[in-house]
Amino acid sequence: MRAYVIGNAAIDENFRVERLPGEGESILAGKGSVELGGKGANQAVVLARAGLPTTLIAGIGSDTRAERVRGWLAAEPLEARLLPIAGASTDLSIILADGEGANVIVTTVDCARALTADAVLPDLAAAAPGDLMVLQGNLGLSTTRALIAEARARAMRVVFNPSPVRDAFADLLPQVDTLFLNQHEAGVLSGREGAEAVRALLRAGPSTVVLTLGREGALLGTAGGVRPVPAVAVAATDSTGAGDTFQSVALVSAARRGTGIDAAALRDAARAAAITVTRRGTLSAFPTQAELEALLA
């Protein structure tokens, strides 16, 4: 099995703040970090570090930021297919993180939204039935729809993380196998909360729905019902990338055991996410290959 992650690769500029600002407020920030980010790149890195063969397909600019992204990805155990977008700047995220694990993120998506399905298709030539197509919400809607159709034609399994969320994503759910999302995203797509949201999303089409609840853990929805899976209690300092860690480790845990996403996969995912939230930054906060191998052994 191989995962094809099609999404964004960005540079994350992280700033530490005592608290998140209110509207119109100026605040001071402490020293942060500049490193690889973007939900597509984040998920691909953790999938690969956890041992699943992974291909990342992402749009990228022709600027100095692009060269830094290439360098970071070259150091990871994955295959990076970075597609140049003419006239675009490599995507950038500004992240403010407080000392309690909360954050706010603003991301540019010029390269991600300019990526077309036609540009991606040559890099899917070797995709086989049972491989994963992993998508997020940063691509254009028409591109996302076309890629899901291609995945279905190839008998790939579609994993969708609709972040950032759009109302129109609800129309895509009948073609999605596994859906990972948070409370806000579930509310937008279902109009409900908690277990009722999970049940409504299951009725929309996915066979598996994972609703993450932060410190409260997650809800796992399958044909067998909805069950809670607790988080691992830690003193969180920065939640950036925790959701990407959680999703990727859940997928690998299930793949290694030859099962669908189950409670054991989410318990492994919670342990990995607990590592991420105790570290600052994005790439530097993800568990290492050695940590993930020990966790999944």
182 belongs to an annotated ligand binding site: yes
* Active-site residue (options: 91, 131, 177, 244): 244
Tokens 């992650």, residue located: 5
Q: Is the pTM of this model over 0.75?
A: yes
* Separation of alpha carbons 154 and 103, rounded Å: 38
Q: Strand pairing partners for 12?
A: 35, 93
Asked whether residue 268 is marked as a ligand-binding residue, the answer is no
pLDDT at 73 over 90: yes
- Is 59 assigned a ligand-binding role in the annotation? no
Residue 25: pLDDT band (50, 70, 90) is confident
β-pairing, 103-107 with 92-97? antiparallel
Q: Which residues contact 210 (CB under 8 A, 6 or more apart)?
A: 178, 179, 180, 181, 218, 219, 220, 221, 247, 250, 261, 266
C-alpha to C-alpha distance for 270 and 215, rounded to whole angstroms: 10
For range 43-57, the mean pLDDT: 98
pLDDT band at residue 22 under the 50/70/90 scheme: confident
CB neighbour list of residue 36: distance below 8 Å, 6 or more residues apart? 9, 10, 11, 12, 45, 68, 69, 72, 73, 282, 283
CA distance 281 to 13: 9
Examine the residue annotation and report whether 118 is marked as an active-site residue of this protein.
no
Predicted confidence at residue 90, as pLDDT, reads: 95
pLDDT band at 228 (very low <50, low <70, confident <90, very high): very high
Q: Does 90 belong to an annotated binding site? A: no
β-strand partners of 101: 238
214 appears as a binding residue in the annotation: yes
pLDDT at 101 over 70: no
pLDDT in tens, 171-218: 999 999 999 999 999 999 999 999 999 999 999 999 999 999 999 999
- Ordered by where they begin, the domains of the chain are 3-296 (3.40.1190.20)
Residue 99 reports pLDDT greater than 80: no
The CA R_g of the chain, rounded to the nearest whole Å, is 18
